[in-house]
Structure 1
């Protein structure tokens, strides 16, 4: 397969994708070679020396140590809601960077993310959002306690039936543990390590990669699954390989914890060359189980089965949680002309019905995912406080807040695996560009049947995405692109229509 090229203008190819054995360590090394930080910390076009500040960092020294030599612009902006950190920066300024940033992402004062962040800060003013809520702590402690008790019950009874609930609770413990490593250091972030995965590694691959560049070539959680699961649209991949990936997905989910454990200890001994307390945490369960099992070997065997079950549930939840569906942006799809970081986040995410209505389901199923991406350091139980500000800002900037059901996302994830051609979605065309291009198009009137219309064999939805004034009548506008058989595959035709009464007008034009 050829090297992938980003469809986001200005996004350079990430060299970490080309490394044969991909680890969190190789991701950081690739960033250090790419970011132009010159061994320091880069924020926008300035270089800072944060070495002396590391031990005073409220979020923990690790965040500073890990990011040395990289561009931390996106992490800095999304991890600090107040301006306290920004006011400290001049003290540590060294000089301007010698090279431009590798990514065109923006944080304009009046842009989407900055506007939302100001409103979110106001919405959170009555809670200590720098720390997890009591409810989250209680649920996390309950889950880890239940996981331990069920694991001991498995060892004592040697019952394979109890392995399943033990695995489920381990998966839920791992998901809620992810809530903690996003924030300042706390012992509860080590709950995540019971899974054999590393909270340190996930701070790198999840918080510093996936969260800041979701569904792009720079997203470790995209490229580390390749070629076994290939979600990015690519005409060079075969349909057969996609079908094989679909069939193999459950096996990949089940083996995920094992694979990450191998990479974890490979990095501990050969890359970081440092064994930390968290690296001993995964052995707590098998050691405890050995006290109740007939032998150590039996305890280890049963523990490995719990890990297998937990891995299957965790990755089943994670892979199908929010990011993969043909209607969600993946690098390769045609992108909008607004490079605001917050909009990039939301283009690559969909919220879910039902899941987002329960604190327990949110904490154990990666719920309120869009808000979590925008406010990664805010406890999940506080995120609902920001929903009003979120919806208001999305409405102002024309960002869809449509929710999918969990079943829709499961089906969509499997469809995305076999997605060959890039998509061009209505919401990725700016309102101004759409209005300008739609004004001079020829229109053909056709009848409207129910909520859908069909023209030349293509079904075109009626969701209103933008508006323009036409005399005294407001007309809803939408753009939808399709691939036509009688045109070359790389020639995308756009279809425009507006709905008026019982008729719909449709026009077309090339980009």
Structure 2
């Protein structure tokens, strides 16, 4: 796509965007080139050495180990609701950074995000914000059981109703597992690995990229599917490429699992970056072989389930919250206030009906705005924070908008066709 100039003032071009394969490892390698962290951890304009804290990090060592040599300002601010982590920082301070930040987003004490977070924390009093609710765990575990039982049934019978039900269960399980990826290390986040996608890679590409910089040139989930799907309103999008994107969409949906699975094992084998969870995708097909008439029949059934589930997952994810002509995309004229939360509000929409049910929320990427603002909080507890968000929106005169699933589905295709920028309020 060439080097694009972001319309977010001061947002630099990310090196990772030019990678041929576009993996999570590429994203982090690009950040190490761009962030001026000098091999340490950058927060704001200060550099810290967190190497001695890796094993003691309450959220798990992986978060700190992954981000060594990068700017973690946004992740640090958003992943810690209390001020405990901030109070610990001075003991790890090394020196000030010698280069300015390549990301201009702010967290001012009187800005939108800080005020909202304080209200949200008050709304969550009495809740263990570091753990999922029993209801969420029950739904996730029931979806796991439903996935295994339906897949075994499909393998034994090769009946289309069983195959379709299996695909639905696997999709619901994978989306629900996404809720756990943002939290401290837990075994339920590995439920996602059953569908070929990597929970480890998603912690990078989804949590550390998409969630922190949605719909910008830094958003992995935007640039990883370019040039086939180009959501940014670029004037150089030709009529042919815009029309072809409508045809590519269902193909991308169907191949999402396979493409990410291929990247997963390519990186694991070429970079010798194997993880125990890389064995999890083999559990379902191996189990299905035990009840099938043959290994070939089991593999054919599993493959069919994978492609059907991938289509459902792709449709759900790409049409859930971010792509519509009335939603900010890099290339549009953004607001002057660069408070991080305001970018999130401009780049996200919630949906009617989906947000009214915990099951629908967990299985359809629901409660999307609150989840972006408070990603580590379990979806079951997020609903307590609606009044805090409403109050803060009213204080800053920010309209809060919801859409129907149909509006977002239709709007996603309209966004693929759009090449004229819009102006978002200052």
- Alignment TM-score > 0.5, same fold: yes
- The aligned residue for residue 240 of structure 2 is 240
Structure 2 unaligned runs (5+)? none
- The aligned residue for residue 436 of structure 1 is none
- Per-residue CA deviations over 1:463-493 (Å, capped at 9, x if unaligned) read xxxxxxxxxxxxxxxxxxxxxxxxxxxxxxx
- The aligned residue for residue 40 of structure 1 is 40
Task: Note the C-alpha offset of 1:333.
Answer: 0.1
- Per-residue CA deviations over 1:99-155 (Å, capped at 9, x if unaligned) read 110011100001000000000000001110110000000000011110110000011
Task: Note the C-alpha offset of 1:236.
Answer: 0.5
Q: Aligned partners of 1:244 and 1:161: how far apart in 2? A: 32
- The aligned residue for residue 84 of structure 2 is 84
User: Where do 1:396-407 residues align within 5 Å?
Assistant: 396-407=395-406
Are the counterparts in 2 of residues 328 and 348 from structure 1 also a CA contact under 8 Å?
Answer: yes
Q: Aligned partners of 2:411 and 2:73: how far apart in 1? A: 32
- Per-residue CA deviations over 1:267-309 (Å, capped at 9, x if unaligned) read 11113x1321110111110010010011222211111111111
- The aligned residue for residue 70 of structure 1 is 70
Q: Aligned partners of 2:248 and 2:237: how far apart in 1? A: 16
User: Where do 1:293-304 residues align within 5 Å?
Assistant: 293-304=292-303
- Per-residue CA deviations over 1:376-408 (Å, capped at 9, x if unaligned) read 000000011000001000111121211001100
Q: Aligned partners of 1:113 and 1:49: how far apart in 2? A: 26
Give the total of aligned pairs: 426
TM-score by length of 2: 0.99
Task: Note the C-alpha offset of 1:232.
Answer: 0.2
User: Where do 1:38-437 residues align within 5 Å?
Assistant: 38-271=38-271, 273-424=272-423, 428-430=424-426
- Per-residue CA deviations over 1:41-92 (Å, capped at 9, x if unaligned) read 0000111111110111111010011000100000000000000101111111
**Coordinate RMSD, CA, aligned:** 0.8
Are the counterparts in 2 of residues 353 and 405 from structure 1 also a CA contact under 8 Å?
Answer: yes
Are the counterparts in 2 of residues 215 and 348 from structure 1 also a CA contact under 8 Å?
Answer: yes
Q: Aligned partners of 2:2 and 2:93: how far apart in 1? A: 41
- The aligned residue for residue 479 of structure 1 is none
Task: Note the C-alpha offset of 1:161.
Answer: 2.8
The structure that is helix-richer by fraction is 2
Give every structure 1 segment of 4 or more consecutive aligned residues whose post-TM-superposition deviation is greater than 6 Å: none
The structure that is strand-richer by fraction is 1
TM-score by length of 1: 0.83
Greater RCO, CA 8 A, separation 6+: 2
Task: Note the C-alpha offset of 1:3.
Answer: 2.3
SS at match of 1:280: helix
Are the counterparts in 2 of residues 2 and 236 from structure 1 also a CA contact under 8 Å?
Answer: no
Q: Aligned partners of 1:72 and 1:176: how far apart in 2? A: 26
Q: Aligned partners of 1:239 and 1:3: how far apart in 2? A: 21
Q: Aligned partners of 1:3 and 1:44: how far apart in 2? A: 26
Are the counterparts in 2 of residues 7 and 331 from structure 1 also a CA contact under 8 Å?
Answer: yes
- Per-residue CA deviations over 1:171-209 (Å, capped at 9, x if unaligned) read 110000000010001110100111100001000000000
- Per-residue CA deviations over 1:390-444 (Å, capped at 9, x if unaligned) read 10001111212110011000000000001111112xxx223xxxxxxxxxxxxxx
* Bigger Rg, which one: 1
Q: Aligned partners of 1:94 and 1:256: how far apart in 2? A: 42
